[in-house]
Amino acid sequence: MQEIKVGILGLGTVGCGTADVLARNAAEITRKTGIPICVTMACVRDKNKTRECDSDTFSITTEPMDVVTSPNVDIVVELIGGTELARDLVSAAITNGKHVVTANKALIALHGNELFRLAENAGVQMAYEAAVAGGISIIKSIREGFAGNQIEAIAGIINGTGNFILTEMRDKGRTFEDVLAEAQELGYAEADPTFDVEGIDAAHKLTILAAIAFGTPLQFEEVYTEGISKLELIDVDYAKELGYRIKHLGIAKKIDGDLELRVHPTLIPEQRLIANVNGVMNAVLVKGDAVGNTLHYGAGAGADPTASAVVADIIDVARIMSIGARSYVPGSGFTAAAIKNLPVRKQAEFECAFYLRFEVEDVPGVMSQLSAVFAEQNISIEGITQKEPKKGDNSVSVIFITQKTVERSVDEALEALKTSKILQGSVAKIRVEHLD
């Protein structure tokens, strides 16, 4: 084999970053693989658009199928995003005997089960390290580095936009709306930020992490997803006073043979390393039965960090091609026959502690009434804080931190309080994880 030829679908930020890294580090990559790797072809929407990379060394087309079917392409790198077109192109590439590398988390989360089967039957690889947490290399760590472990839990800050917003709210006392506007100006958030701030992007990534950790099918529809758009600054401040930080976490746990798959704002004790991951950075905590807790930190997006993960996948595929291997690590980390469905718990069955903020009338006996309702549900209270009454107002904020309990019990207690006429407004409910 003289060289391995790469075709790129999409020369945007990550596509150009990938072409640049392959060109800039060509000598070192050849030294690691024993065979040259070069980009021979790329597909773009507009040939006349100015690009952030040197595209003079390879051919450009506006027809993606030209790349997918070209005899001058061994590895197809899908970087166009979206799901339906990407699914069609990746399926066609596999059918044409091409190995595939993608950074498309939505594609994997929604259609990965089908595509992995297709790739396995065709005898080609489908690699997707860049789909989760950019340059951190978390997929390879879980799938290969911790292959000797039973993974017990994963907790990740896997969306940089949400982490940037929460960091600014905590450190500078800014509102969600104010920080979101700046994130859009800086290019951290899209004009329509729904995927980032409502947790959909993180849910796509958690779907992938859970599947490779627990050997289950990808099941995005089972992930409980809650965003940060309704989070109030007052709760960010109160959490800080109580020694916690609020992070938007993706959490996957295996408990007594069941799975919990959830994305939501979470209070974490401020001394935990993951609580101190700020700005647009990502971090993933992985707990294995042998290795214990490990934390993986780095840039979750951007041209070079994401391109680093894409190129690493290209190199892995190139190594297999160069030695003519017929067996390699399956895309999911498990053989198709070993993948098992496990029951996924619904929201009411989640087990964790809770932060609860009540607005109540500042009169004697209210605290005992609140405590009595929770005692009826066998919910133990870790701590109670009562704030000073607001000026010109007879209401006061009361904060409960519960011990670990089942969410159904908390919700039943809150329903009972609604009928008791104790509350003066809505209740803020945020889950608490100590990540021990």
The stretches of 80-131 forming alpha helices (DSSP H) are 84-95, 105-122
- Strand segments (E) across 130-276: 151-157, 224-225, 244-255, 258-269
Which among 126, 115, 116, 146 has a CA at the least distance from the CA of 77?
Answer: 126
Catalytic, 205? Answer: yes
Residue 206's φ and ψ, nearest 5 degrees, are: -65, -35
d(CA 296, CA 273): 10
d(CA 205, CA 220): 9
> Could you say which of 5, 205, 253, 287 is catalytic?
205
Six-digit token string for 426? 């809505």
DSSP state of 344: B
β-sheet bridge partners, residue 5: 38
Environment class of 129 (CB within 10 Å of its CB; exposed 0-12, middle 13-18, buried 19+): buried
Own/partner pairs, 182-191, CB within 8 angstroms, 24+ separation? 188/160, 188/161, 188/164, 188/280, 189/161
Environment class of 217 (CB within 10 Å of its CB; exposed 0-12, middle 13-18, buried 19+): middle
The amino acid sitting at 58 is F
Six-digit token string for 216? 């289950």
Which among 286, 429, 408 has a CA at the least distance from the CA of 345?
Answer: 408
Residues marked as catalytic? 205
